[in-house]
Structure 1
Amino acid sequence: MISVSDQFPKSIQARRKIQLPAMVSAKKDGKAAYLSYDKLYIDNRMYTVDTVHNSGYSIS
């Protein structure tokens, strides 16, 4: 089996790791949520590490 995934610099990986819990919570609530580079999109609204607390989903 062959697997392909993105390789991001450590700084981007750290931002994605912070946003991941909010993405998982949003998906559990039935929202469309995905990470693109270092941005989190929930129902077509963009959140960064600095603004993800405004999404209504916990990041801790």
Structure 2
Amino acid sequence: MTTVVLGGPMCRRCVRRISRLVGDVPGVVALELCAGCGRLRVRGPVRPADLAAALGLDELM
């Protein structure tokens, strides 16, 4: 499981957009996004570089 802290609370639109972007990453089996705390958990054999690219990040923290 990979956990990414995205920041503070997110609106519904942001949650849908992030879910769609991350869901398209090869290897993602399931994802859980906590809108209130800005945390994303991804299950599956996902390469961190692919996940970071989908989120528009240089690297995952």
TM class by smaller structure:
0.3 to 0.5
Larger radius of gyration: 1
Q: Kindly indicate which of the two structures has a greater share of residues assigned to strand.
A: 2
Higher relative contact order (CA 8 A, sep 6+): 2
Q: TM-score, normalised by structure 2?
A: 0.35
Q: TM-score, normalised by structure 1?
A: 0.35
Q: Kindly indicate which of the two structures has a greater share of residues assigned to helix.
A: 1
